[in-house]
Chain A
Amino acid sequence: DTAVSQTPKYLVTQMGNDKSIKCEQNLGHDTMYWYKQDSKKFLKIMFSYNNKELIINETVPNRFSPKSPDKAHLNLHINSLELGDSAVYFCASSQDWGSSYEQYFGPGTRLTVT
């Protein structure tokens, strides 16, 4: 029944490593997002895909690379992890790209870089 799922839920890794977070939605939505929530609970958009096409790419270091193999999946790969990458990463989806569509969030992936 899970609408938006993410794996893993927790990720602890060392600086310099490369890691991936996976996201899947079973809502039949066309649009998916990645957000970063820092220690002050500030939620900020990173990327958005609509029908597998990148439509938002905020000023995120190019160590972060999203990939959408199909409409139901949006993965996030992070190269050369840094301490400042520690945060909770939320995946979200919405029915379509447009103003009135609410976003459904996944449970989050808590990334800790040591």
Chain B
Amino acid sequence: GQNIDQPTEMTATEGAIVQINCTYQTSGFNGLFWYQQHAGEAPTFLSYNVLDGLEEKGRFSSFLSRSKGYSYLLLKELQMKDSASYLCAVRGLADKLIFGTGTRLQVFP
């Protein structure tokens, strides 16, 4: 079966650091993506991991451990505009992209 788990909601304060976790059990693994989706808008690509380790991109970093079926997205120096849903997605068998239900992050001043 396919299962991707993320916390439903998280809150944080402007300027802080937040870590959004994602655990997955999928048939096949061909990479893990993180997308950001603001309310009423389209998902936009944030990061891609296929090898174990940390990928850093400005204020955002993403980590993958394939043996543990685990990833996290780290957001530093949080800004109000970072309030959005963060979707973890795994590319599984037949290269299908399977999305988790997303984590709704609210950033407070």
CB contacts under 8 Å to A, within B56-109, are 85, 87, 89, 91, 94-99, 101-102
How many interface residues does A have (CB within 8 Å)? 22
Stretch at the interface among A12-20, A61-69, A76-84, A102-110: A102-110
Chain A residue numbers with a CB within 8 Å of B87 are: 43
User: Measured between alpha carbons, how far is A43 from B42 in the docked complex, in Å?
Assistant: 11
User: Measured between alpha carbons, how far is A33 from B101 in the docked complex, in Å?
Assistant: 19
Contact of A102 with B45 in the complex, beta carbons under 8 Å: yes
A45 close to B (CB within 8 Å):
yes
Beyond A43-B87, A56-B94, whether A99 also contacts B42 by CB under 8 A is no
Contact of A99 with B91 in the complex, beta carbons under 8 Å: yes
Contact with B along A74-114 (1 / 0, CB 8 A): 00000000000000001000000111101111111000000
Interface residues on B, range: 20 to 34
Contact of A97 with B95 in the complex, beta carbons under 8 Å: yes
Contact of A100 with B101 in the complex, beta carbons under 8 Å: no
CB distance from A77 to the nearest CB of B (A): 21
| A43, closest chain B residue (CB) | B99
B33 close to A (CB within 8 Å):
yes
CB distance from A26 to the nearest CB of B (A): 15
Chain A residue numbers with a CB within 8 Å of B98 are: 45
Name B96's contact: one of A4, A42, A45, A105 (CB within 8 Å). A45
CB distance from A59 to the nearest CB of B (A): 12
Chain B residue numbers with a CB within 8 Å of A42 are: 99, 101-102
User: Measured between alpha carbons, how far is A108 from B42 in the docked complex, in Å?
Assistant: 6
Chain B residue numbers with a CB within 8 Å of A99 are: 30-31, 50, 91, 95
9 contacts between A and B (CB under 8 A): A42-B99, A45-B96, A45-B98, A56-B94, A100-B31, A102-B33, A102-B45, A103-B97, A105-B44
Q: Apart from A43-B87, A102-B33, A104-B45, what 19 extra A-B contacts exist at CB < 8 Å? A: A41-B85, A42-B102, A43-B43, A43-B89, A43-B99, A45-B97, A48-B96, A56-B96, A90-B42, A97-B95, A99-B30, A99-B50, A100-B31, A100-B48, A103-B97, A105-B42, A105-B43, A106-B42, A108-B42
